[in-house]
Amino acid sequence: MENKNIYVTMPTLAPLEEVNELMKGIWASGIMTHNGPLVQRFEKECAAKLGVPNMVSCVNGTIALQMAIRALKLKGEIITTPFTFIATISSIIWEGCTPVFVDIDPETLCIDPKKIEEKITYHTVGIMPVHVFGNSCDIEAIGAIAKKHNLKVIYDACHSVGVDYKGQSVFNYGDISVTSFHATKMLNTTEGGGCFTQDKELDEKLRRIRFFGFENHADIVEDGTNGKMTEVHAAVGLANLKYLDAALADRKRKYLYYKEKLSVIPGLSFQKINEGCNYSYFPVIFPDEATLLKVQAKLQENSIFPRRYFYPSVNTFTRLVPYTPMPISEDIASRILCLPLYFTLADDDIERIIQIIVNAIL
Ligand X SMILES: *Cc1c(COP(=O)(O)O)cnc(C)c1O
Radius of gyration of the chain (CA): 21
Task: Assess contact for 71 and 189: CB atoms under 8 A.
Answer: no
CA angle 7, 338, 189 (to 5 degrees): 60
Min CB(184)–ligand X separation in Å: 7
| Shortest CB 200 distance to ligand X, Å | 25
Q: What is the DSSP string of 31-42?
A: --SSS-HHHHHH
Single residue of 36, 82, 134, 193 touching ligand X by CB under 6 A: 193
Residue from the set 58, 130, 339, 357 that interacts with ligand X by CB under 6 A: 130
Under the criterion CB under 6 A, does residue 61 sit at the interface with ligand X? yes
Stretches 19-27, 155-163, 213-221, 240-248: which one binds ligand X (CB under 6 A)? Answer: 155-163
Phi, psi of 125 (to 5 degrees): -120, -20
**Segment near ligand X (CB under 6 A); pick from 60-68, 166-174, 210-218, 349-357:** 60-68
Shortest approach of ligand X to residue 245 CB, angstroms? 22
Closer of 183 and 356 to ligand X (Cβ): 183
3-state SS class at 228: coil
57 binds ligand X (CB under 6 A): no
* One of 70, 182, 228, 307 touching ligand X (CB under 6 A): 182
Among 84, 136, 177, 296, indicate the residue that binds ligand X (CB under 6 A).
84
Contacting ligand X (CB under 6 A), which of 159, 205, 251, 307? 159
Burial of 263 (0-12, 13-18, 19+ CB in 10 A): exposed
CB of 217 to ligand X, least distance (A): 27
Rounded to whole angstroms, the Cα distance separating 59 from 231 reads: 11
Task: Output the furthest CA–CA distance in the chain (Å, rounded).
Answer: 68
Please identify, using beta-carbon distances, which residue of 58 and 295 lies nearer to ligand X: 58
| Residue closer to ligand X (CB basis): 9 or 84 | 84
To the nearest whole angstrom, how small is the minimum distance from the Cβ of residue 301 to ligand X?
Answer: 28
How buried is 223 (Cβ within 10 angstroms: 0-12 exposed, 13-18 middle, 19+ buried)? Answer: exposed
Helix 37-50 and helix 16-29: axis angle, to 10°?
Answer: 140
Q: Which DSSP helix (H) or strand (E) runs through 250?
A: helix 244-262
Instruction: Assess 307 for contact with ligand X (CB under 6 A).
Output: no
Q: Which residues bind ligand X (CB under 6 A)?
A: 60-62, 84-85, 87-88, 130, 156, 158-159, 180, 182, 193
